[in-house]
Amino acid sequence: MAEDVLLRLDRVSKVYKVGAFGGRELAAVSDVGFEVRRGEVVSLIGESGSGKSTLARMILRLTSVSGGTITFDGTDVSTLGRSYYRQVQGVFQDPFSSFNPIFPADRVLTMIRDQFFPRAAGWSERVAAALEDVRLDPGQVLGKYPHQLSGGQLQRLLIARALLLDIRLLVADEITSMLDASTRIDVLNLLADLKARGLGVLFVTHDLSLGTYVSDRTVVLRQGRVVESGPTTQIFERPEHPYTRNLLASVPRLGAKWADEAAPTGLPDGTPVVTADGTGNATGNVATHVTEEKA
């Protein structure tokens, strides 16, 4: 269904100039290709330094592309103006860096109104609806300064901002890595909600433990190259590449109680994970929601 493809990367590469006077070159991303469709969560996984953030930054046009093309809705993104950001937004690992500490955090929402919807009627109702969508209580966040909010609240505020823009693709780079277990589950459920609304989500992570529960397809990156990609269940059950098998070896067994595992990496408090069918078994049925269950 080609018309469903939102984002397409075709042989995308990135070379950084490094060393004194930029005399050396580092191939951070080489010949990467994949697609994100409407209503699809795609996980981009790989060890630290494998080029995930570089790809996310190229997709968001925060850094230039050295080779290949990135298209959104069939158009080369390098030709698009600011309107691109009405459709595509990013949320990053460290939400604090997206906020100016001297202004209330919800200024990120006001700026959207001033930039894109100066004459919009019913703005406060729209803000209230977007906050409700990301499960934030307006009374708890409006008027608060960034240091008065948690990392998870700030990340959800950024997602609310993306919703106000009515975006079609969200690039989420390591958004769960600094969150505690229950907030992490909230944010993952939120991604599942975005998917249900028909958004495409690129979920970047080096931690395979939880994000993969909400993803339809997985792209495995190593040293800037795709080593394998396919349906998430297939990658988890029958990883073809030894590198993927190694990445998976550090993940608690799917369906097992986290507390039973020798080295749980995802939920330090031993919270079990229950999939959509309630079995905790993601086989053949990618979870649409991750729920918290008190053991």
195 is an interface residue for ligand ATP by CB under 6 A = no
Q: From the list Mg ion, ligand ATP, none, pick the one residue 152 interacts with, judged by a Cβ distance below 5 to 8 Å according to partner type.
A: none
Q: Residue 187 — left, alpha, or beta (φ > 0 → left; ψ -120 to 50 → alpha)?
A: alpha
Name the DSSP class of 192: H
Give the total of residues touching ligand ATP (CB under 6 A). Answer: 13
15 is an interface residue for ligand ATP by CB under 6 A = no
211 is an interface residue for ligand ATP by CB under 6 A = no
Give the interface with Mg ion as residue ranges (CB under 5 A): 53
Our CB check for ligand ATP shows the closer of 28 and 227 to be 28
111 is an interface residue for ligand ATP by CB under 6 A = no
> Dihedral, CA atoms, 142, 144, 145, 147, nearest 10 degrees?
-120
| Least distance in angstroms from the C-beta of 140 to ligand ATP | 30
Residues listed for the chain: 295
123 is an interface residue for ligand ATP by CB under 6 A = no
Our CB check for ligand ATP shows the closer of 27 and 128 to be 27
Q: From the list ligand ATP, Mg ion, none, pick the one residue 58 interacts with, judged by a Cβ distance below 5 to 8 Å according to partner type.
A: none
Our CB check for ligand ATP shows the closer of 52 and 156 to be 52
Q: Which of 9, 32, 51, 287 binds ligand ATP (CB under 6 A)?
A: 51
43 is an interface residue for ligand ATP by CB under 6 A = no
Say how many C-beta atoms besides its own lie within 10 A of residue 62's C-beta. 12
Q: From the list ligand ATP, Mg ion, none, pick the one residue 50 interacts with, judged by a Cβ distance below 5 to 8 Å according to partner type.
A: ligand ATP
Residue whose beta carbon is closest to Mg ion: 53
Burial of 216 (0-12, 13-18, 19+ CB in 10 A): middle
Q: Which of 32, 171, 9 is nearest to 90 (CA)?
A: 171
Instruction: Determine the Cα–Cα distance for residues 91 and 6; give it in Å rounded to an integer.
Output: 18
Contact 22, 40 (CB under 8 A): no
Q: Which of 26, 120, 129, 196 binds ligand ATP (CB under 6 A)?
A: 26
Q: Which stretch binds ligand ATP (CB under 6 A): 43-51, 120-128, 211-219, 272-280?
A: 43-51
| Least distance in angstroms from the C-beta of 234 to ligand ATP | 22
Our CB check for ligand ATP shows the closer of 18 and 120 to be 18
Q: Which residues pair with 27 in a beta bridge?
A: 15
Q: Which of 13, 43, 54, 89 binds ligand ATP (CB under 6 A)?
A: 54
Q: Which of 13, 30, 43, 50 binds ligand ATP (CB under 6 A)?
A: 50
Q: Which of 295, 253, 252, 248 is nearest to 272 (CA)?
A: 295
Q: Where are the beta strands (DSSP E) in the chain?
A: 5-18, 24-37, 41-45, 67-72, 75-76, 88-92, 169-173, 200-205, 217-222, 225-231, 273-274, 291-292
- H/E segment holding residue 140: helix 138-141
83 is an interface residue for ligand ATP by CB under 6 A = no
Binding site for ligand ATP (CB under 6 A): 16, 18, 26, 28, 46, 48-54, 206
